[in-house]
Every structure is written in C-alpha cells, then in structure tokens.
Amino acid sequence: MKSILLIGLGRFGKHIAMHLSSLRHQVMAVDHREERIDEILPYVTNAQIGDSTNAEFLSSLGVDNYDVCIVAIGSDFQSSLETTSLLKELGAKFVVSRAERDVQEKFLLRNGADEVVYPEKQVAKWAAIRYSADHILDYIDLDDSYAIFEVSIPHAWIGLSVGQIDIRKKYNINILAVKQGSKMNVKVTPDTVLRDDNTMLVLGEYKSLQKCFHI
C-alpha cells in the first residue's frame, strides 16, 4: 500500500482515484472545486479544497510524506507547471504530471516532474495499433524500443509447438504466456502446443514484433 497525493479531479484524475481505491492505496485528493471533492469522497482516504499553486496550502499537506504525488490537472497548464515545481521544492519524493502536448511534457520534466503521463498520445498509439490489425488484441509499451503484444495465433502455427515455431531464435521474441479464454498459462515450454482458440503474450523489440506479426 502506498500513500498518494492526487491533485486535480477532472475526468482523468477521478479515474485515477477510483483505480487507486480499488488497489487499496491511501489517497489524499485535492481540487479547487468543491463539487469535484464531493464526488470523489467515496473513493479516497481524505480530500481538501484548495489552490495547489499556493505554496502555503501545498506545504500544509506535508507533501514529503507521500510516496507519490500525481498532478492530474488538465485544462490549466500554468497551474500544472507551478504545482509540479512547488511539489519538488517542498521535498516531494516522486512527482508524476499530466501533459496534453509534447511541449508541455518537456517543460514539466524540466521543472520537477520525475515522469510525465500523456494520456491522449498514449491511448492514440494504442488504438492505432490495436484496431489497424485484426490479430492484435492488446498492446503495452515498455519503452521506446520494447513492447508486449497479445496476438492471436497465426494460422500457420496452429497445431505446432512453441519449440517448433522457435520465434525466440528467429526473431528474438519471448512468449510470456499462452491464453485460452480467461485462463492464462505462464508455464510455457517448448512442448506447449498452440491451438486456434489460443492467444499469446509476446515480448520483444517493436521492430521485431512488427516483422514477425506483420504489424
């Protein structure tokens, strides 16, 4: 369980709070609008109405006591930037800030953000990959070079074993798991036979995944 300071309770911030609640983390939520605070109370440990660009108010929250500070302000970049900078000045351990454009990401990183999330860009890339290929069921970026894909079994591989297709040797791609419906088998061996109702979780360099699965 982690203690998290969440600043900004628009749609993005609200969804973060709800997911953190389901993961049983302790969340202090902050927004300058009372109606947003009222909506989020069932999902957080505590909440306060206040201006996060006010150094005195922010200091009163004891920001250095939180494991993570998330700045989810979306509509007012100046406030997001000031809040990010103040958090770091006040001793925040780890600051994650939201960006809506590439230039915002650069400014946030230069002014105290340890990491930046860019929801629109990240979801757009996921959607482009997911829905431009019928056999790609899910996709996770690990960094600029590596990714994990959930893919349907290519027709030519059905009935063959993992050892027979040998994509690790041919493409330097690792099969992490084989799924059948909701059941996941993570104990994949060279003798594991691939069926037409299976999907695979595969890890590798993006360019190798593109080549292997014709993405």
Q: DSSP for 34-53, please give it.
A: HHHHHHHGGGSSEEEE--TT
Section 61-71 average pLDDT: 96
pTM: 0.72
Q: How far apart are CA 112 and CA 61, in angstroms?
A: 18
**Average pLDDT, integer, range 168-172:** 90
What is the pLDDT confidence band of residue 161, given thresholds at 50, 70 and 90? Answer: very high
30 Cβ contact partners less than 8 Å away, ≥ 6 residues apart: 5, 6, 7, 8, 9, 47, 48, 49, 50, 52, 61
Average pLDDT over residues 129-142: 80
User: Please, what's the b/e burial string for 95-116 (b: 16 or more CB within 10 A of its CB; e: otherwise)?
Assistant: bbbbbbeeebbebbeebbbbeb
Residue 166 backbone zone (phi > 0: left; psi -120 to 50: alpha; other: beta): left
Average pLDDT on 34-57 reads: 95
Q: What is the pLDDT of residue 119?
A: 84
Give the pLDDT band of residue 126 (cuts 50, 70, 90).
Answer: confident
What does 83-133 look like in DSSP terms, one character per residue? HHHHHHHTT-S-EEEE-SSHHHHHHHHHTT-SEEE-HHHHHHHHHHHHHS-
